[in-house]
């Protein structure tokens, strides 16, 4: 982008940056993307930069000094009224009509529509921001914006892995087709990712897998590990740990998270030891997880908390004797990092980037192996001194490697490169 010689704004390298963060789904309670947006925006502000967020629903929860621009949406995935039928007056523009038809036919149009609506809002804003940072919408609208102003994207993990596991988990052919329909936006995301000049990702594992699945040269990536909110996630010395109390945070009916394998592991451990599994989350009514709990006779052993706030989450960690991350794949693994920040001993699979997060501060087992999970859980139950040592090691590892200030500094370095290359 050519700078206007008459402007009085100094070059970006000489002043705090004006950053536009784009996120199609931004609430911290709907997944890691919302957590990322919240804490990265705060850390960038703490470094002195100006941050504005362009967001789709659900609304993000941000610091008061971060301005939010909310793009239009029918919000048909609102948990309070999911898949509602819009009123006729709400379908008075092509985008809204497309949204309703797409959702009604089991598609997921949010990334595409967010990009189109964000482009309509931002296409005249080239002088307002020094850089745009897209949080994994990878939409055609973001690609169009990248031709007008410096733009980069964060891809947390290859969504192709979610699709593969979701399709594999379905036994019926029509349900496999349903999953393929839901993930049909991936074709758009691949095309856009190949055209953007810089991609941030959160681990070396995610970089390799995204490069392979999306067909992107490895040199376009910069690895910026996520931070952990250590001001919120930390040990509570006055709260005693309860023997046999296991905690996991899990989108219970998402096969990628591997809760079914953890349930089978707990069923095996329970034959010899007294255990309780606390799942931070809520299963689908009469879904596969509820049925499996019934089949394994774990109704008196497993408890779901539903959606809880961060303070309650930390109290749950403080009471737990261990945390288990049973995911088949993680591009980073925030649940592991948050547990470690609370000083909780961690048992984790080696799925995706989890070994990069856990390192030697936890027990690692192969994914999809409930027997290995059961053995690791039993090991920590029978060796409380070893468990305590792993809890201390995990806490130290987070403090050293995974802070949001460190993530923000690396992100700003990427911003400056994209700005220089765009001129």
Domain membership flag for residue 53: yes
Per-residue pLDDT at 353 = 96
283 and 375, same domain (yes or no): yes
Domain membership flag for residue 331: yes
Domain membership flag for residue 234: no
Domain membership flag for residue 317: yes
250 and 368, same domain (yes or no): yes
Q: What is the CATH number of the domain that holds 283?
A: 3.40.50.2000
How far apart (Å, rounded) are the C-alpha atoms in residues 361 and 342? Answer: 13
Helix axes 310-319, 334-341, angle to 10 degrees: 70
38 and 168, same domain (yes or no): yes
Domain membership flag for residue 281: yes
74 and 178, same domain (yes or no): yes
Long-range contacts of 33-36 (CB under 8 A, 24+ apart): 33/135, 33/136, 33/156, 34/60, 34/61, 35/229, 35/334, 36/135, 36/154, 36/156, 36/226
272 and 413, same domain (yes or no): no
Q: Which domain holds residue 288?
A: 245-401
Per-residue pLDDT at 78 = 82
272 and 192, same domain (yes or no): no
- Write the pLDDT tens digit of every residue in 163-178: 998 999 898 999 999 9
Per-residue pLDDT at 9 = 52
275 and 175, same domain (yes or no): no
- Write the pLDDT tens digit of every residue in 320-336: 999 999 999 999 999 99
| Ranges in the chain, pLDDT < 50 | 1-7
Count the domains in the chain. 2
Domain membership flag for residue 236: no
387 and 410, same domain (yes or no): no
Query: Which backbone phi and psi does 67 adopt, to 5 degrees?
Result: -75, 140
* C-alpha triplet 6, 152, 33: angle, nearest 5°: 130
Domain membership flag for residue 370: yes
261 and 173, same domain (yes or no): no
249 and 101, same domain (yes or no): no
**DSSP helix/strand/coil, 86:** coil
Domain membership flag for residue 336: yes
383 and 410, same domain (yes or no): no
Per-residue pLDDT at 81 = 83
252 and 129, same domain (yes or no): no
Q: Which of 328, 261, 324, 250 is nearest to 296 (CA)?
A: 261
Per-residue pLDDT at 13 = 65
Q: What is the pTM of this model?
A: 0.86
């Amino acid at each position: 982008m050519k700078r206007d010689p008459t402007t009085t704004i100094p070059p970006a390298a000489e002043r705090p940056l004006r950053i536009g963060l784009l996120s199609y789904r931004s609430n911290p309670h709907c997944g890691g993307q919302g957590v990322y947006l919240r804490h990265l925006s705060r850390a960038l502000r703490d470094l002195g930069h100006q941050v504005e967020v362009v967001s789709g629903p659900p609304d993000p929860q941000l610091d008061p000094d971060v301005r939010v621009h909310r793009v239009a949406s029918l919000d048909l995935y609102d948990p309070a009224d999911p898949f509602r039928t819009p009123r006729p007056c709400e379908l008075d523009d092509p985008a809204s009509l497309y949204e309703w038809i797409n959702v009604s036919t089991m598609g997921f149009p949010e990334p595409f529509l967010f990009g189109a609506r964000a482009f309509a809002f931002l296409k005249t804003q080239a002088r307002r921001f020094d850089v745009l940072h897209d949080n994994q919408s990878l939409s055609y609208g973001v690609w169009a914006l990248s031709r007008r102003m410096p733009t980069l994207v964060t891809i947390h993990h290859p969504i192709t892995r979610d699709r593969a596991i979701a399709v594999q988990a379905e036994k019926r052919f029509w349900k496999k087709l349903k999953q393929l329909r839901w993930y049909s936006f991936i074709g758009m995301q691949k095309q856009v990712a190949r055209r953007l000049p810089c991609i941030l990702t959160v681990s070396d594992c995610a970089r390799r897998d995204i490069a392979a699945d999306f067909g992107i040269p490895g040199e376009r990536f910069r690895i910026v590990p996520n931070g952990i909110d250590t001001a919120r996630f930390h040990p509570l010395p006055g709260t005693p740990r309860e023997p046999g109390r296991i905690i996991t945070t899990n989108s219970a009916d998402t096969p990628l998270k591997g809760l079914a394998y953890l349930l089978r592991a707990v069923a095996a451990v329970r034959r010899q030891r007294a255990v309780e599994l606390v799942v931070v989350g809520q299963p689908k009514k009469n879904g596969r997880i509820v049925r499996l709990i019934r089949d394994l006779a774990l109704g008196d052993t497993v408890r779901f908390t539903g959606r809880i706030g961060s303070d309650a989450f930390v109290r749950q960690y403080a009471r737990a004797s261990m945390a288990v991350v049973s995911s088949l794949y993680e591009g980073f693994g925030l649940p592991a990092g948050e547990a470690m920040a609370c000083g909780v001993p961690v048992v984790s699979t080696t799925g995706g980037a989890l070994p990069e997060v856990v390192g030697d501060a936890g027990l690692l087992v192969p994914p999809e192996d409930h027997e290995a999970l059961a053995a690791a859980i039993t090991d920590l139950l029978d060796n409380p001194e070893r468990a305590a040592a792993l809890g201390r090691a995990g806490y130290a590892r987070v403090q050293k490697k995974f802070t949001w200030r460190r993530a923000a500094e690396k992100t700003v370095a990427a911003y400056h490169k994209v700005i220089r290359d765009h001129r």
